[in-house]
Copies of this chain bind each other. A is one copy, B any other.
């Protein structure tokens, strides 16, 4: 099953556009996990098991693992998701981007080593830096387009001849480069008007939307701007607001409650 098919099935089965971002920061873990060698894996698998029937995808952010020499825990986490929650796609948030011969190595990292179903990729180096990822026909390739951070405007909002850079990226990546239908785009929830603009440019291409929750993006505006005609098309990511909803041994139950409320808040506007 391809990433696109897995995502479509998860949207339906779990009636959810919610993607839970797995950004494990040991400094924020409940006290009973601190000091354990496998704390990251233990924390993340508990979150995953508590929320897997409420999400359309999980998105581990690789930096949080790499900063702590925990690539083995990331491998084990993704294997756990595939084994225990088959059908829920895993998006490796890595924002890689390099020339073709190096991109081939990064694709091995993401798809062969970590067994991710999709990966986030930076478009700055252009089409031939994206193509090695597309050589894996079952995988999703989600390109940065309009990011949710304040500095996202520094380059992405520059006028490149009647349109903004992020609009050009949307047209190229969602159109000309998307010959195989594997491409998605990252568009931040902090800019609903730009989500609507991207949606108008790319048809039904899936949009990964970070920025609700801790970053302040508005759920109603995001859904109304980004949904497709059938009320799907979005992976709306929340990380910190779900992971750290509880502060003690109840953290997984608290995460489930936060995920449930977020999924239902999203569904009110579909």
Q: Which of the candidate stretches A30-38, A79-87, A142-150, A199-207 sits at the interface with the other chain?
A: A142-150
Tell me whether B126 and A124 are in contact (CB under 8 A).
no
Q: A108 contacts B67, CB within 8 Å?
A: yes
B126:A153 contact, CB within 8 angstroms: yes
Task: Tell me, yes or no, whether A169 is within 8 Å of chain B by CB.
Answer: yes
Are A155 and B169 interface neighbours, CB within 8 A? yes
Q: Which residues of B contact A168 (CB under 8 A)?
A: 155, 158
A128 at the binding interface (Cβ < 8 Å) = yes
Which of A95-103, A225-233, A259-267 lies at the interface with chain B? A95-103
Interface positions, chain A 62-118, Cβ under 8 Å from B, are: 63-64, 66-69, 71, 95-103, 105-106, 108-109, 112-113
Given contacts A158-B161, A159-B161, contact A125 B144 (CB under 8 A): yes
Give the distance in Å from the alpha carbon of A109 to the alpha carbon of B152 in the complex. Answer: 23
Number of interface residues of A (CB under 8 A): 52
Asked whether any CB of chain B lies closer than 8 Å to the CB of A216, the reply is: no
The 8 A CB mask of A1-43 against B (1 = contact, 0 = none) is 0000000000000000000000100000000000000000000
Question: How far is A156 from B165 in the complex, measured between Cα atoms in Å?
Answer: 10
Given contacts A123-B155, A160-B160, A160-B165, whether A66 and B149 have CB atoms under 8 Å apart is no
Inter-subunit contact A158/B160 (CB<8 Å): yes
Q: Does A222 contact B (CB under 8 A)?
A: no
Q: How far is the CA of A105 from the CA of B112 in the complex (A)?
A: 24
**A51 beta carbon closer than 8 Å to chain B:** no
Indicate which residue in B67, B98, B101, B156 contacts A109 across the interface (CB closer than 8 Å): B67
- For the complex, give the distance between the alpha carbons of A180 and B112 in Å: 40
